[in-house]
Amino acid sequence: MRKSVEKFRKKFNTKFLNIFIFKLIEWEVKRMVTKRDPTAFFREEYERLVKEGLNWELRVLESASEPECIVDGRKVIMMCSNNYLNLATHPRVVQAMIEAAQKYGAGAGSDRSIAGNMLIHEELDRTLARFKQAPASLTFQTGYMANEGLIPQLADKGDLFVSDELNHGSIIDGIRLSHADRAIYKHKDVSDLERILNEAERHDPPYKRIWIITDGVFSMDGDLAPLPEIVKLAEEHGAGVYVDDAHGEGVLGEGGRGIVSHFKLGRDQVHVEMGTFSKAFGVIGGHITGSEDLRRFAYNKARTWLLSGAMPPAVAAACKAAIEVLESNPQLVDKVWENRRYFMEEVEALGFDTGNTETPIIPIMCGRSKTARDLADYLWKKGIFVLPIVYPMVPRDKARIRVQVCAKHTREHLDMAIEALKSGGKDLGLI
């Protein structure tokens, strides 16, 4: 009996050991096969974007950003630049950059909050405030950094942001960085905004702060925010008003002073006017304008300002010069609008749908994404550089090419683009 028991135990232990070893090997093989790859998604995501036609194909600008330039080795007419006033190549702006680099060096050597607050930065802030006819301004390294840095500091838990559904991604990201509640109103729909504000008044506990945030000019459609109506509602509800006027500066208002000037509103009505130097001013950088209290609050609270290296002095000098050029040459703004009126009249006469544009941003509505890409490719072959704007940047059935006219476009440039649109539009059944 004892021998039988020992024999059974030995057999059992051997079987158990074999199972254990098998499971151990199986687990190790599985672990090796499924080992985490931290970078595989780079390629996987890109390949998905390519498959769905959502990837960006970068073209290379090989000359200065002018109405006629070299892109990917080809001479083309630039019709998709934000350089509305062509200040990027203005001799005075370029010379200011050169002289500042020679005087101050290539960089500031620190954040403005520590040891990099140069005289040229302070001069730029004052020049911008004078141009905006406001008490104070503060410049940031980029427009995106201005929104991402200041917006989260304006509201916190127990507060509310109310945002237009088509606001720029930098506004969206800025709001996401806050702990405040958020509500989205239908694009330019003042009635929907009023509904949200009325509901907000019934919130328990009451919101301490409410901010209404909107683009001034919506970059995909070229339409304007109904700022006077927004201001009226804000006053009724004690809400702050923040407008991102990146595409309005240099184009709207007295001498290109922007959307606040355009609607003749006061600084006690629009509390934060944000903007950028990378569009009509032709350089790079962001800024905010409003009260002296706003300026002091921002440079003590906005982390993108506090914790980033200062704008290079040469860039600050170029931005300052660009403002001064515009102040002394307001006719540049008139020229942009003259070109816009001519181009709009001609393309609409051909039968193109230009959406709801009110500015030099002119969408040529195509509907399907493939049609927009085909039209952009056709124009490229004809020597016209534009880009298709497709889903997810716009709804699936609202694809378009976005044309942007500038001050230095000649009638010949515009006529060449119009003729190419005419032939391409007919080929694709758009007109």
Instruction: Specify whether the CB–CB gap between 90 and 80 falls below 8 A.
Output: no
Task: Find all residues with CB under 8 Å of 30, minimum gap 6, and list them.
Answer: none
Catalytic residues: 219, 247, 279
Three-state secondary-structure class, residue 87: helix
List the single range of 5-19, 130-144, 359-373 with lowest mean pLDDT. Answer: 5-19
- The per-residue pLDDT for 5 is 42
Neighbouring CB atoms inside 10 A of 426's CB total 12
d(CA 399, CA 360): 18
> What long-range pairs does 266-272 form, CB within 8 A, spacing at least 24?
267/134, 267/135, 267/291, 269/231, 269/234, 269/235, 269/241, 270/227, 270/231, 270/241, 270/242, 270/243, 271/240, 271/241, 271/242, 272/150, 272/154, 272/240, 272/241, 272/242, 272/243
The model's pLDDT over 65-92, given as tens digits with 9 standing for 90+, comes to 999 999 999 999 999 999 999 999 999 9
- Over the stretch 193-234, which tens digit does the pLDDT of each residue have? 999 999 999 999 999 999 999 999 999 999 999 999 999 999
Enter the tokens of residue 257: 């002073």
pLDDT at 411: 98
Would the pLDDT of 8 be above 70? no
- For helices 313-328 and 119-132, the axis angle rounded to 10 degrees is 30
- The two three-digit tokens of residue 341, written as one number: 């009126």
**What is the reported pLDDT for 396?**
83
Which residue intervals of the chain bear CATH 3.90.1150.10?
49-78+330-427
**Out of 4-8, 130-134, 153-157, 415-419, which region has the weakest mean confidence (pLDDT)?**
4-8
Where does the pLDDT of residue 290 fall: very low under 50, low under 70, confident under 90, or very high at 90 and above? very high
pLDDT at 53: 78
Average pLDDT over residues 106-111: 96
pLDDT band with cut points at 50, 70 and 90 for residue 15: low
pLDDT band at 34; cut points 50, 70, 90: low
Is it the case that residue 11 has pLDDT exceeding 60? no
pLDDT reading at 309 higher than 70: yes
Q: What is the pLDDT of residues 251-274, one digit of tens each?
A: 999 999 999 999 999 999 999 999
Fold of 90-328: Aspartate Aminotransferase; domain 2 (3.40.640)
Q: Where are the alpha helices (DSSP H) in 35-142?
A: 40-51, 91-104, 119-132
The share of the chain scoring above pLDDT 70, in percent, equals 95
Residues of the chain with CATH 3.40.640.10: 90-328
pLDDT digits (tens, 9 = 90+) for 178-194: 999 999 999 999 999 99
Check pLDDT > 70 for residue 250: yes
The CA–CA distances, whole Å, from 175 to 199, 220, 240, 304 equal 20, 20, 14, 14
Q: Quote the Cα angle for 183-184-190, to 5°.
A: 110
The Cα 31–Cα 39 span in angstroms is: 18
The pLDDT mean for the chain works out to 94
Count CB-CB contacts under 10 A for residue 63: 12
The pLDDT, as a whole number, for residue 32 is: 66
Judged by DSSP in three states, 113 sits in: coil
Residue of 258 and 19 predicted with greater confidence: 258
Q: For residues 295 and 138, is the Cβ–Cβ distance under 8 A?
A: yes
Residue for token pair 């990378």: 278
CA angle 80, 83, 87 (to 5 degrees): 155
CATH tag, 49-78+330-427: 3.90.1150.10
In the prediction, which pLDDT does 219 show? 94
pTM surpassing 0.85? Answer: yes
DSSP state of 61: B
**Across 1-13, average pLDDT:** 53
Mean predicted confidence (pLDDT) in 394-398: 88
Which pLDDT score is estimated for 25? 76
Task: Specify the pLDDT at position 44.
Answer: 94
